[in-house]
Amino acid sequence: MHRIYYPYETFRADLKALTSKIDKPFDAIVGIARGGMLIAQMLGEYYNLRAVFCLNALAYDDTRKRDAVRLYNLPDLSTYRSVLVVDDIVDSGDTMKEVLSTLQARFADIGFESAALFYKQSASFVPTWYVKEPEGWIDFFWSVDLKV
């Protein structure tokens, strides 16, 4: 499998490109742990939102895809009207589809949109906004930099 290192400088530039595509305000941001956590935090700072949440979605064991996505730690979003759900990559689309389906079922009055840095055209779900299509497995700086 072809692996590509994704440094902070590229992340910052891509996140800035993502903000230029997002064309509406949100009351809250939900990051899908782990890849969406830093994105959610930085977008919260950028948009001056304190309503930044995280939920856990387990879809992979290292690089091996699980049979089903499991969700944990769903936030209470009942006081918000518009929520942006973010992740680092929409690979198969299963995680984002499961997260949005679960959140929409639980909070039917909320408008949800999605954003990711990377999106694979083979995915079963297309995020509302994305920046790039990956050309291999992405080794994000937050996954590898402390290990070297």
Q: Which two tokens stand for residue 144?
A: 């590898």
> Domain for residue 45, yes or no?
yes
The total domain count for the chain is 1
- Rg of the chain over CA atoms, in angstroms? 15
CATH number assigned to the domain comprising residue 104: 3.40.50.2020
* Whether this model's pTM surpasses 0.85: yes
Indicate whether 147 belongs to any domain. no
pLDDT, averaged per 10 consecutive residues of the chain (148 residues), comes to 91 98 97 95 97 88 68 95 97 93 96 97 96 91 86
What is the model's pLDDT at position 64?
Answer: 61
Q: What's phi and psi for 112, nearest 5 deg?
A: -110, 140
**CA-CA distance, 143 to 146, in Å (whole number)?**
8
- Give me the domain span that covers residue 91: 3-142
Asked whether the beta carbons of 81 and 111 are under 8 A apart, the reply is yes
Q: Is residue 127 part of a domain?
A: yes
Q: Is position 148 within any domain?
A: no
Check residue 66 and give its pLDDT. Answer: 64
On whether the CB atoms of residues 115 and 130 are closer than 8 A, the answer is yes
- Would residue 64 count as lying in a domain? yes
Six-digit token string for 83: 């929520």
> What pLDDT score was predicted for residue 116?
98
Q: Is residue 136 one of the residues assigned to a domain?
A: yes
Does residue 19 lie within any of the structural domains? yes
